[in-house]
């Protein structure tokens, strides 16, 4: 990790249901920083929900909007940013995260993702295209090698998310000590 990187904005990546927003919100509070959720910023920019954007304009248009919004958020320099699950797959976003932020992959097992995403059915258009478990398994295969480029990896499972927040804080503190 590059020197001085630990005080950069923290960007959370990982699959749907990994807990990026919940962990991000608590992490920001613990660090005394502001928090922004990229999906919420996209909804605000579009004036419509994510399922509605997918339905009305299709996934490529969503990805274009996501890229523009996330690059703006990164330029604004927020303290903690939770990205939508697909954002880190975009090369321009990944390059900018690498340049400006410290990235944290919340790595979750399939059961955890299936269980957590099932709590909010209808919220994630990608999982409405078929069997959510099969889709999540396929996304894990495709995306985990890319998420693995993140600076820090923290495993998350069925336990309370406070433990995950603590682990992220410890890893950031370790980065601080390395300077
Ligand atoms: C997506 C994840 C979602 C949202 C959109 C697409 C993805 O965000 O951006 O439905 O491609 O994985 P969460 O990861 O916050 O659910």
pLDDT digits (tens, 9 = 90+) for 81-131: 999 999 999 999 999 999 999 999 999 999 999 999 999 988 999 999 999
- Sequence-separated (6 or more) residues with CB below 8 Å from residue 160: none
Write down the mean pLDDT value for the chain: 95
pLDDT digits (tens, 9 = 90+) for 25-39: 999 999 999 999 999
Determine, yes or no, domain membership for 155: yes
DSSP output for 142-165: HHHHHHTTSSEEEEE-SS-HHHHH
* Ligand 1 near 126 CB (within 6 A): yes
Determine, yes or no, domain membership for 177: no
Domain membership of residue 150 as a residue range: 10-171
Determine, yes or no, domain membership for 176: no
Helix (H) or strand (E) holding 94: helix 91-100
What angle is formed at CA 123 by the lines to CA 22 and CA 46, rounded to 5 degrees? 90
Q: What is the pLDDT of residue 2?
A: 55
In the chain, how many domains are there? Answer: 1
How far, in Å, from the CA of 94 to the mean position of ligand 1? Answer: 16
Q: What is the pLDDT of residue 7?
A: 81
* Ligand 1 near 90 CB (within 6 A): no
Determine, yes or no, domain membership for 63: yes
Determine, yes or no, domain membership for 92: yes
Cα–Cα distance between 84 and 136 in angstroms, integer? 14
Determine, yes or no, domain membership for 33: yes
* Ligand 1 near 79 CB (within 6 A): no
Two tokens, residue 14: 């990982």
* Ligand 1 near 14 CB (within 6 A): no
Per the document, the length of the chain is: 179
Q: What is the CATH number of the domain that holds 58?
A: 3.40.50.300
Q: What is the pLDDT of residue 47?
A: 98
Determine, yes or no, domain membership for 3: no
How far, in Å, from the CA of 2 to the mean position of ligand 1? Answer: 29
Cα–Cα distance between 58 and 39 in angstroms, integer? 16
Q: How many CB atoms lie within 10 A of CB 174?
A: 12
Determine, yes or no, domain membership for 4: no
Cα–Cα distance between 23 and 179 in angstroms, integer? 25
């Amino acid at each position: 990790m590059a020197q001085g990187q630990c005080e950069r904005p923290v960007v959370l990546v990982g699959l749907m249901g990994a807990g990026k927003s919940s962990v991000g919100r608590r992490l920001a509070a613990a660090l005394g920083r502001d928090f922004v959720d990229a999906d919420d910023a996209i909804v605000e920019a579009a004036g419509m929900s994510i399922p509605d954007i997918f339905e009305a304009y299709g996934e490529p248009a969503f990805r274009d909007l996501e890229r523009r919004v996330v690059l703006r958020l990164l330029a604004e320099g927020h303290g903690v940013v939770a990205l939508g699950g697909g954002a880190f797959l975009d090369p321009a976003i990944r390059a900018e995260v690498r340049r400006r932020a410290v990235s944290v992959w919340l790595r979750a097992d399939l059961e955890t993702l299936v269980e957590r995403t099932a709590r909010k059915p209808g919220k994630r258009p990608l999982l409405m295209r078929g069997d959510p478990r099969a889709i999540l398994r396929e996304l894990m295969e495709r995306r985990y090698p890319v998420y693995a480029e993140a600076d820090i990896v923290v495993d998350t499972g069925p336990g309370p998310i406070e433990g995950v927040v603590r682990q992220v804080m410890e890893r950031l503190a370790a980065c601080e000590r390395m300077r």
